[in-house]
Amino acid sequence: MTQVIAPAKTSSLELVRGLLTASLMSIRDTTAASLPSRATTPQTPPVPPKKDPPVSKTQSSTSSASTPTHHFVQEALSNFPKWDLNQNGVLSRPEIDYAIMDRSNQDWSAATSVTLRTSFTTIEAINHDPHPTEHGISKADLEQLRHHSHTAQALELQVHDTQNKIANTPQRLFPQGELSPDASQQATIGDCSFLSALGSFVDRFPKELPSRISQRPDGRYKVNFPTGASVTIEPLTDGEKGLYGSADGLWFPLMEKAAGTLRTNLGQSLARIVPGDAIHALSMKEASELLMGTTHSVFTKGQLASVRSTLKKIVRQNLVASAGSFPVSASVTQNQGIVPSHAYTILNFDAKQDKVQLRNPWGFQEHMSGPLLDQTDDGKFWMKVDDFMKHFEVINYAPPNRKKTTSPPATDTVR
């Protein structure tokens, strides 16, 4: 897949993006904005830059000078015997996922397990063994990192930023004031289709989601979906806090975990070690149906009048809606900020100016055909419908058939 470059940010994460491009590209999703017979692939952000996070309990990793030399390697080697469940000398992907879900792995250990997962291919290839007897990360691979300064530096920065994210995860379920998708950022699960629909739901009904997520006396969370389905999930582990997306409350990563759990419970996905993986690379249609039930698709090719009519309907009827961009092979241009094979939230439509407002669930990278209207790259932007037609192949929207939270749950399973 063609590399997608994010706008420059003054963060150490820029170094991670440059130094680990090969690894990050290998874990990007390959699904897509779907047609009943065809799918477009939702994208995962390269490594999303942070938005002015609150002051951390630990020093932020924006300065590489303060980063310990081999903290990541030391932490991984220290936990290796515990994480190598079958004691074969290799950490497999499932074993790393179990480490992420292990509540006893906290803080730096959790951040290290997340970094192992997101950079698995890069680390595994360190020893250049063309025919490995066991696929996974060995102690020798980790030791070799000490001799690969650029890769080691990138991993150090990544583990520090992940630890900082874990430390700064809000303890509150929802922020004070009205809920908004603006503070949310997609991470590495590869679930832009679901998050673009969720962003639209929160934008349309900011007061509703708080009534759909509640914490039980035993600490678990019950989530009631607009479809009437319900799941009960365990609190997030530190590893999940580092892996899932982030926002101004726990509501955002909890919805990722709950959606993955629901999809598994409904038999739409095989059981996953990390529940959120069950919504990886969903088509837009699948994601919208999971969240809202019924969904409709409008394809843009040669349908300008229909697109305008649909956008008017979405705004007039306050419908949950998202748009899927063309895949790389069909993209007219790749230098205007629109990520190929990616799902965006539809926020608004101005019929007089013939413009549609969209939001990238990454929380950054906008359409760059003109200057940023608000001088802020927060993922929200307006574009002419003519430009929209060049970059987007499908619109998905869901009618307002939400069921009240008092409806009997369709499923109630703990994961």
The neighbour count for residue 312, using CB atoms within 10 Å, is 12
pLDDT of residue 139: 93
> For the packed helices 251-265 and 192-204, what is the interaxial angle rounded to 10 degrees?
120
pLDDT of residue 369: 61
**Domain extents for the chain?**
13-30+55-167, 181-283, 296-398
Which residues of 238-391 form beta strands (DSSP E)? 296-299, 320-325, 343-350, 355-359, 380-384
pLDDT of residue 294: 83
pLDDT in tens, 89-143: 999 999 999 999 999 999 999 999 999 999 999 898 887 665 555 689 999 999 9
Please choose, from the candidates 343, 396, 335, the residue with its C-alpha nearest in 3D space to the C-alpha of residue 367.
Answer: 335
In this prediction, residues 352-361 reach a mean pLDDT of 96
Question: How many whole angstroms separate alpha carbon 406 and alpha carbon 212?
Answer: 10
pLDDT in tens, 288-313: 999 998 889 999 988 999 999 999 99
The verdict on domain 296-398 having CATH code 3.90.70.10 is yes
pLDDT of residue 384: 94
User: 323 pairs with which residues across the strands?
Assistant: 344, 395
User: 139 pairs with which residues across the strands?
Assistant: none
Distances (CA, A) of 72 to 47, 146, 156: 18, 10, 6
pLDDT of residue 33: 34
Spatial contact of 47 and 13, defined as CB atoms under 8 Å apart: yes
Question: How many whole angstroms separate alpha carbon 91 and alpha carbon 334?
Answer: 37
pLDDT in tens, 1-34: 333 333 333 344 343 334 333 333 333 333 333 3
Q: Please give the mean pLDDT across all residues of the chain.
A: 81
pLDDT of residue 43: 60
Which residues of 97-161 form beta strands (DSSP E)? 137-138
CB proximity list for 275: less than 8 A, separation 6 or greater: 233, 257, 258, 260, 261, 264, 415
**Phi and psi at residue 15, to the nearest 5°:** -65, -40
Which residues of 102-211 form beta strands (DSSP E)? 137-138
